[in-house]
Amino acid sequence: MPRYRLSPTPEQEVGLLKHCTQARLVWNLAVEQHSHWRPGMGSAPGYVEQARQLTEARAEFPWLRAGSVTVQQQALRDFAQAMRNFFASTHRKPTWRKAGRDEGFRQVALKPQHIQRLNRRCGQVWVPEVGWIRFRWSRRVTPGVKSYRVTQDRVGRWHIAFAAIPDPIPAPGNSQVVGVDRGVVVSAALSTGDILKVPGLTGGERRRLEQLHHRLARCQRGSHRRRRVRRAITRLTARETDRRKDWVEKSSTELARRFDVIRVEDLNIRGMARSAKGTIERPGRNVRQKAGLNRGILANGWGLLITRLEHKAAGRVERVKAAFTSQQCSACSHIASENRKSQAVFQCIVCRFTCHADVNAARNIAAGRAVTAQGALQPLGGAVNCEPQLAPVAF
Ligand SMILES: [Zn+2]
């Protein structure tokens, strides 16, 4: 979602923080309500029921009534969406929001006249009960946006994100198919051999971050110095996040422009995290490496890239079963774990085809012929979505 830097005046900031507090209180009430739920108690209250309870509570408590009802309702809607994501096992369970850390609120029912452009660099947006707030017109605002989310990051910067699904980009009509493999070391490998790298922090920035962490460890708790160091760390990590989001937007646009069909691995990111840990009876294999891999997936913003691709190349993104894509030779289809010489190099033990390992996987994904690993190869009791090991199977 494109974000814009919001510049509220000090008085407006007070109003925005009030909205944030309201949203957080209502969200935390919903979290608490759900935390009392135990299996066998029937279904926990959904949005409709919680919204009804909100109406009752507003009648009873003046402090609740003083807040914006749409802000409160949207917090409940966000919570309902978070629970749906949790049950779909794509996200963690929603948790408590903390002041100063998770500040934000949503407004809906936006009318076109609520966003105005003032000049080349500046626009303003209408926020109920706060007024017109200026924002930096850093890129085009998609016409027809219906809602927005205002957030304050830990450094204190305000942003506004207008919810608009980006216009689909027309297919180039070249009937070209590309496979995209999420890399760990690299970010995304294309079957064409291109490698798209997420720009992280530069070497200098990373060294500075390390220094700051050392300094933080030596700071006295609650000291001014500690707060200053913390702020500097947050600013650096925010820079990394900004670059990653920017990369996702640019890469998804480029892919949608260049190719007619985009094939990606159908992998469940949370499923992979789960499989790495394993269970007591069946401890996960390569737990350490996979923990690193999972961090890599999250850091690379893979899920976000797919979401944006599905918006921009609507109907042209195909999900392909992910098993064996890294062990199968994209030239002769032979599957062997020995094919993978290292993290980076793939060499087929049969036909000697040699390739960048991630590009080889991307070529398999483009071919859409990755073997499905259902039944026999799935470990017992496991909806385990990790890449299966080739175990000797008796047929
Ligand atoms: Zn081969």
Show me where the domains of the chain are located: 3-163, 177-198+252-377
Q: Which of 78, 103, 310, 358 is catalytic?
A: 358
- Give the pLDDT confidence of 49-82 residue by residue, as tens digits: 888 888 888 888 888 888 888 899 889 988 888 8
- Whole-angstrom CA distances from 221 to 188, 225, 233 are 41, 9, 16
Q: Is 318 a catalytic residue?
A: no
pLDDT band at residue 167 under the 50/70/90 scheme: confident
Q: Mean pLDDT, to the nearest integer, of 31-58?
A: 80
- Give the pLDDT confidence of 266-295 residue by residue, as tens digits: 765 444 444 444 444 344 444 445 455 445
- Give the pLDDT confidence of 125-142 residue by residue, as tens digits: 999 889 999 999 988 887
Q: Mean pLDDT, to the nearest integer, of 289-311?
A: 66
Q: Mean pLDDT, to the nearest integer, of 21-36?
A: 87
pTM here is: 0.60
Q: Please tell me the distance between residue 337's alpha carbon and the centre of ligand 1 in angstroms.
A: 12
Q: What is the mean pLDDT of the chain?
A: 79
Q: What are phi and psi of 163, to 5 degrees?
A: -80, 105
Q: Which of 78, 265, 310, 387 is catalytic?
A: 265
Crossing angle of the two packed helices 302-312 and 224-258, in degrees rounded to 10 = 40
Kindly state the helix (H) or strand (E) to which residue 299 belongs, with its residue range: helix 287-299
Percentage of residues in the chain having pLDDT higher than 90: 27
Sorted by sequence, the CB contacts under 8 Å of residue 306 that are 6+ apart come out as 264, 317
CA distance 126 to 104: 16
Percentage of residues in the chain having pLDDT higher than 70: 81
> Is the separation of the CB atoms in 274 and 221 below 8 Å?
no
Predicted local distance difference test score (pLDDT) of residue 382: 33
Sorted by sequence, the CB contacts under 8 Å of residue 83 that are 6+ apart come out as 34, 94
Q: Please tell me the distance between residue 339's alpha carbon and the centre of ligand 1 in angstroms.
A: 9
Give 40-53 as a DSSP string. Answer: TS-PPP-HHHHHHH
Q: Please tell me the distance between residue 189's alpha carbon and the centre of ligand 1 in angstroms.
A: 19
Crossing angle of the two packed helices 287-299 and 302-312, in degrees rounded to 10 = 40
CA distance 103 to 8: 15
CA distance 134 to 116: 9
Q: Please tell me the distance between residue 347's alpha carbon and the centre of ligand 1 in angstroms.
A: 8
CA distance 243 to 234: 14
Which of residues 339 and 218 earns the better pLDDT score? 218
Q: Mean pLDDT, to the nearest integer, of 178-199?
A: 82
Q: Mean pLDDT, to the nearest integer, of 161-167?
A: 78
Predicted local distance difference test score (pLDDT) of residue 5: 94
Which of residues 340 and 366 earns the better pLDDT score? 366
Predicted local distance difference test score (pLDDT) of residue 268: 57
Name the least confident of 10-19, 74-83, 273-282, 371-380: 371-380
Q: In what order do the strands lie in the sheet with 195-196?
A: 195-196, 188-190, 177-182, 261-266, 317-321
Q: Please tell me the distance between residue 346's alpha carbon and the centre of ligand 1 in angstroms.
A: 10
Strand ranges in the chain using DSSP code E only, listed in sequence order:
3-7, 103-107, 115-117, 122-127, 131-136, 147-152, 158-163, 177-182, 188-190, 195-196, 261-266, 317-321, 345-347, 354-356
Sorted by sequence, the CB contacts under 8 Å of residue 168 that are 6+ apart come out as 256, 311, 312, 313, 314, 315
Nearest to 302 by CA among 248, 237, 357, 379: 248
Q: Is 78 a catalytic residue?
A: no
CA distance 206 to 299: 15
The one-letter code for the residue type at 18 is: K
Question: Quick one: tokens of 288?
Answer: 């350490």
The C-alpha angle 308, 314, 319, rounded to 5 degrees, equals 80
CA distance 150 to 97: 15
Q: Is 181 a catalytic residue?
A: yes
> Is the separation of the CB atoms in 189 and 344 below 8 Å?
no
Predicted local distance difference test score (pLDDT) of residue 185: 57
Residue 102 has pLDDT above 90, yes or no: no
Q: What are phi and psi of 160, to 5 degrees?
A: -125, 135
Name the least confident of 226-230, 259-263, 289-293, 310-314: 289-293
> Is the separation of the CB atoms in 308 and 166 below 8 Å?
yes
DSSP-based three-state secondary structure for 152:
strand
Question: Quick one: tokens of 98?
Answer: 């903390």
Q: Please tell me the distance between residue 267's alpha carbon and the centre of ligand 1 in angstroms.
A: 24
